[in-house]
Amino acid sequence: MKKIITILLICFATTATAQERISFLSPPSSPEASFTQQWTAGEVTINYSRPLARGRKIFGGLVPFDSLWRTGAGGATIIDFTEDITIGDKTLKTGKYSLFTIPGERDWTIIINADTTLHGAFGYDSKKDIHRFKVQPVKTERFYEAFTIDLNEITARGDGFLSLIWGNTMVKIPLKSPVDEKVMADINTRLINNKENSAELFYQAADYYYSTGRDLKQAAIWASEAEKADKENFNYPNLLQKILADLNDYKAAILAAKRAVVLGEKKNMTNAVMALKKRIVEWENK
């Protein structure tokens, strides 16, 4: 009996040692990923898995055309919006959604679904779709080995694209924040309709018009009004000189910049003053 027990112990120890010898860590075939992008007043967070091409034909092969795709690997791809946002042509409320697609040779169907508990597409229910729309794929110059989701081409107005990229294929899903529309409505109500007279309101409206590429002449008027209402605020002539320079009115831009220099020197804003003086010299030589 003792011999049998001893033999079993030896076998167990030998097996365990062998298992330890062949045990090693390997990179995941579809690594998980997540990222958060600030988006106007809120954030967009994406959680997904990134399958690798590994020499395989992807779309029309590994991922069949005209079939529902989990848009990644592992669990369902999840998008979390902390503010209302327009995707495609429909505004979605703040919250979490799953993202599915139906890749095609000529166009893709983008699907936003309410169920965020799924493992991939198993259990997918089209009745829980919030929105469906189509986009066209484009060919990329470089090859993407790992499936990639990215937020890019973001503008000051809150526009951008959620890009799905794998291999040499990319689809761009348009996103838009409703914040721009709200800000413009507020500016129209308070400054144009109600004619409020506030230096900071004039400044914010001018700055928004300037940063979003709108009517620069109107922006210059509001920046001037802000400076008239408060002649000790460095920000007001500093913004005005930028706007006037973009309007190619360098003579007026120089005067605004010089007023900003005086205020900046009072507050020991060394770097800002040096930059302004450099711009003044450049404009005087035009």
Q: Is residue 214 part of a domain?
A: yes
**Contact at 8 Å (CB) between 51 and 40?**
no
Residues 79 and 96 sit within 8 Å (Cβ to Cβ) = yes
Nearest residue to 213 via CA among 247, 179, 237? 247
186 and 168 fall within a common domain:
no
**Each residue of 200-234: pLDDT tens digit?**
999 999 999 999 999 999 999 999 999 999 999 99
Per the rule left: phi > 0, alpha: psi between -120 and 50, beta: everything else, 60 is: left
pLDDT band at 22 (very low <50, low <70, confident <90, very high): low
Contact at 8 Å (CB) between 280 and 258? yes
Please check whether residue 96 is in contact with residue 113, taking contact to mean a CB–CB distance below 8 angstroms. Answer: no
54 domain residue, yes or no: yes
Structure-model confidence comparison of residues 179 and 23, the more confident one: 179
Same domain, 170 and 83: yes
Q: Is residue 156 part of a domain?
A: yes
Q: Are residues 36 and 172 in the same domain?
A: yes
**Domain with 134 in it:** 32-176
Q: Tell me: the pLDDT tens digits for 264-274?
A: 999 999 999 99
Cα distance between residue 275 and residue 162, in whole Å: 37
- Percentage of the chain beyond pLDDT 90 is 78
Q: How far apart are CA 105 and CA 66, in angstroms?
A: 8
- In the chain, the N- to C-terminal Cα span, in Å, equals 103
Residues 155 and 113 in one domain: yes
CATH number of domain containing 232: 1.25.40.10
Q: Locate tokens 């007279």: which residue?
A: 197
- Amino acid identity, position 225: E
For residues 279 and 247, what is the distance between their CA atoms, to the nearest angstrom? 15
Is 285's pLDDT higher than 70?
yes
Mean pLDDT estimate for the chain:
90
**Per-residue pLDDT at 79 exceeds 50:** yes
Residue 129 lies in a domain: yes
Q: Within a domain: residue 89?
A: yes
- In the chain, the number of structural domains is 2
**Residue whose structure tokens are 């469906």:** 132
- Domain check: are 144 and 98 in the same one? yes
Specify the length of the chain in residues.
286
Residue-wise pLDDT for 45-68, tens only, equals 999 999 999 999 999 999 999 999
The conformation of residue 217, written as its DSSP 8-state character, comes to H
Q: Which of 124, 152, 176 is the last residue of a domain?
A: 176
Q: 139, 167, 138, 165: which is closest to 150 by C-alpha?
A: 165
pLDDT of residue 8: 45
